[in-house]
Structure 1
Amino acid sequence: MVNHQLKVVQALASALTAGGRGVSGTAFPKQPEKSLKLYEFEGSPFCRRVREVLTLLNLDYEVYPCPKGGAKYRKIVKEKGGKLRFPFLIDENTEIEMYESKDIIDYLFKYYGKSGKTPKKYSDYPKYPVVAFAGTLINGARGVWINQKIIDREAPEQLLELWGFEASPFTRVVRGVLTELELPFKFHNVPKERWQDMGPAVLRLKPGKYQPLKGGKREKVIEIMGRDIQVPYLVDPNTDVKMFESAKIVKYLEKQYG
């Protein structure tokens, strides 16, 4: 348990290096009809840039983890795009397949943003993501390499589902394990939609009973969770498991798929 809490602290420090990116998002996303597919790995600073924008736009998407040493999804990227470079986005709604984090970010704002234009904050990324790379190192380079014990293991029949948001340190720890176990999953973004959402579930800035923004995405998520918003939340349709708490989720994943 102490080791898990240390990982959470490292993940929190890593999130702070992003200066607030990956925390907030629109309450009313333009969710595409067909799910976006992102081939990436948690520890990549370039992939992190894209995940931050996906959180801002509050888009759900499928993740196909491509850790270094992985055999399942890296070869798919090579077959489809001709090279091993990440992130790699597939959007079946527009029949687009693309590399390069900056190009993907511009594309996401164009098709799923409100104005169709990339905000200056996200258009002026430096060529080399030094800050995001520092965040990866602070986080112990988790989510970079595959867990050698699971090589050649079959992927689950159905995608796991994870609710969270990019900057959540508890969610980051779980995503790191999913990457290292090469487990594909659908990520449901649940970013903060307004200031009343800020803070952990048990200590939000606005006191009293939590009320999500009416008609917003969080209101619908509460119905799914059957309680107040708390992330991460994992659903494994392969075993009918539904659970909260990052430490419990990590333990479950390592026992079931490790």
Structure 2
Amino acid sequence: MLNALKHNVNVLESVATSSFTAWRGCLVVKAAEQPEKPIILYDMEGCPYCRRVREALTALNLDVEIRPCPKGGRIYRAEAEAIGGKQLFPLLVDENTGQVIYESEDIVEYLFRQYGGRPVPGYYKARVWQPVFGSLGSVASEMRGLRAAPGKRPDQGLHLWSFEGSPFSRLVREKLCELEIPYTLHNLGKEHWTEIGPAKQRIKPGKYQPLPGGKRDDFFRQHGRVQVPYLEDPNTGTSMFESARILKYLEEQYGG
């Protein structure tokens, strides 16, 4: 009972985080073609600057390999420093173009130009007030996803279907970051205004039908619904929906 109450409180905190960041990272601006080699992001889930990059990745519906680098982390921080010369995050590595980029504003500009073929949309441009509201968003979520926690490292990275503005998905990403578990972030942004709202009560009444040919359509054909977060763990053959179940699984399987 107490665990369920705490989870519901955390969901409300995550809703506040999305609200402070103006719900960016929910709708797809332009679905980009996935590059041949995976884009890699050295990332801290609770960092407001890293969040801006993940928002842009959702806007482009691009998948990315997440290398969690929480404060006190012992796995990927040294690797990031060896690549870029310093432990500063976010750090984007794109082996398709040979680009290694720090600074969220530069990364967002690069992603929209390289994969969207367009300038950064006004909604995603850097504003002077964003660091303040971004920091408030992190505070609203109790700074989860910033510091490393004891845990066990899986042999293979996990797979998470998510989109940045999803309050439920954020809770799972926070836990993955704290445990330093690498994962492929499969962005499943909303492709049309009729998809706005939670999976069980979207703004458009009636039977849900995703836009044909998109990533959501493909997911729907495989699973019979479109709901995030959705986790697959190739180490155990486990797959599941629902943030509370996923968090319990991660703690039992990989927690310290």
TM range (shorter): over 0.9
For the 8 Å contact 1:201–1:229, the answer to whether it is kept is yes
Long gaps (5+) in structure 2: none
CA distance in 1, matches of 2:36, 2:129: 32
SS in 1 for 2:17: helix
Name the residue aligned to 2:156: 158
Identity of matched residues, %: 49
Aligned residues: 252
Aligned match for 2:186, one of 185, 188, 195: 188
CA distance in 1, matches of 2:31, 2:38: 17
For the 8 Å contact 1:38–1:90, the answer to whether it is kept is yes
Do the aligned partners of residues 176 and 96 (structure 1) sit closer, same or farther apart at CA in structure 2, a change above 3 Å counting? Answer: same
For the 8 Å contact 1:10–1:138, the answer to whether it is kept is yes
Name the residue aligned to 1:254: 251
- 5 Å-filtered alignment, 1:131-170, equals 131-147=133-149, 149-150=150-151, 153=152, 155-170=153-168
CA distance in 2, matches of 1:197, 1:128: 26
Aligned match for 1:215, one of 195, 210, 213: 213
CA distance in 1, matches of 2:43, 2:144: 13
Is residue 86 of structure 1 aligned with residue 89 of structure 2? yes
Is residue 95 of structure 1 aligned with residue 98 of structure 2? yes
CA distance in 1, matches of 2:168, 2:233: 18
CA distance in 2, matches of 1:127, 1:180: 27
Name the residue aligned to 2:14: 11
For the 8 Å contact 1:27–1:217, the answer to whether it is kept is no
Two-structure CA RMSD over aligned residues (Å): 1.3
Name the residue aligned to 1:24: 27
- 5 Å-filtered alignment, 1:45-64, equals 45-64=48-67
Is residue 235 of structure 1 aligned with residue 232 of structure 2? yes
Give the letter aligned to residue 118 of structure 1.
V
Query: Which whole-Å deviations, capped at 9, do the CAs of 1:16-71 have from their partners, x for residues lacking one?
Result: 11112111014632211111100011110100010110010110001010000001
Name the residue aligned to 2:121: 119
SS in 2 for 1:129: helix
Query: Which whole-Å deviations, capped at 9, do the CAs of 1:87-140 have from their partners, x for residues lacking one?
Result: 00010110111111111011101111142x222333333387111110000011
CA distance in 2, matches of 1:17, 1:5: 19
CA distance in 1, matches of 2:54, 2:127: 14
Name the residue aligned to 2:76: 73
SS in 2 for 1:37: strand
CA distance in 1, matches of 2:144, 2:238: 25
Name the residue aligned to 2:5: 2
Scaled by the length of structure 1, the TM-score of the pair is: 0.94
For the 8 Å contact 2:160–2:232, the answer to whether it is kept is yes
Query: Which whole-Å deviations, capped at 9, do the CAs of 1:132-164 have from their partners, x for residues lacking one?
Result: 1100000110001001x33xx4x3121100001
CA distance in 1, matches of 2:229, 2:91: 24
Do the aligned partners of residues 128 and 12 (structure 1) sit closer, same or farther apart at CA in structure 2, a change above 3 Å counting? Answer: closer
Long gaps (5+) in structure 1: none
Aligned match for 2:46, one of 43, 46, 52: 43
Give the letter aligned to residue 200 of structure 1.
P
Name the residue aligned to 1:244: 241
Give the letter aligned to residue 223 of structure 1.
R
For the 8 Å contact 1:58–1:190, the answer to whether it is kept is yes
